[in-house]
Structure 1
Amino acid sequence: MPRGNRYDDGVWAFAKQGSPGQRVYRCPPFSDTHLRRLIFRDQLRRSREMAGAYATLKRRLAAAFAFDGDGYTEAKTQFIDEVVKRAGRE
């Protein structure tokens, strides 16, 4: 089910109907969103501690926002922003 280009950044979101937690995103190559996601991924790959902290956060948020994908995503934002910001300082 299409969720649209919700932030006017060229990223399109799609969710599997009736199944919270399953989303797919289409990001244009070299868009800011795509590059941030790659930076975040790379940082998690470099640091087991950071990856573990993110996994713990995701489990806690999945329980707290079981049927609220937007709330779940919003609650992860600060962690993701900090990781990306830290990567820019390195």
Structure 2
Amino acid sequence: MGMKLPRIKFGRPQQLAALLLLVFLAECLWVVSRQQLSQQDYRYAECGREMWERPSPARRLLHHLRQSQRRRHLCVSRSRLSPYRAAAGDARRG
């Protein structure tokens, strides 16, 4: 026997919301098709891509500090375990 999916009500409010979404999508497509990108737009896109692919050294340092704080928190919480569980955790790590 197959699984039955729950019935979803699709009333007047949902129909109106779908219509508004379609109008918004059409408006977005219309604007995009009629607007030229400037040189500054390309520079913004290039800068964003560069930031995504090669984060700054300060950002790498911040990420490293956050990771070390998480590790320190794990060590503190592990020391609060019972001696048996703490030893078992140490044995697993090898």
TM above 0.5? no
TM-score, with normalisation over the residues of structure 1? 0.29
TM-score under structure 2 normalisation?
0.28
Specify which structure has the higher proportion of strand: 1
Larger C-alpha radius of gyration, 1 or 2?
2
Structure with larger RCO (C-alpha < 8 A, sep 6+): 1
